[in-house]
Amino acid sequence: GAILGTNELESAATKTIRLQAAGAVTATSIDKLIARVK
């Protein structure tokens, strides 16, 4: 962004979103594995 420090905030937000998305995919995979075991 135009304001000083905004780029750092934006990149941090992007990383958080990516981590959450990756976590959701991992959780879904674990749920599928558990379902297979049951």
In a domain, 31, yes or no: yes
Q: What is the pLDDT of residues 1-38, one digit of tens each?
A: 456 667 888 888 899 999 999 999 999 999 999 999 88
pTM to 2 decimal places: 0.57
What tokens were used for 25? 């995919």
- Residue 23 to residue 31: CA distance in whole angstroms: 12
In a domain, 21, yes or no: yes
What is the domain range of residue 31?
Answer: 14-38
* CB proximity list for 7: less than 8 A, separation 6 or greater: 1
In a domain, 7, yes or no: no
In a domain, 18, yes or no: yes
Q: How many domains does the chain have?
A: 1
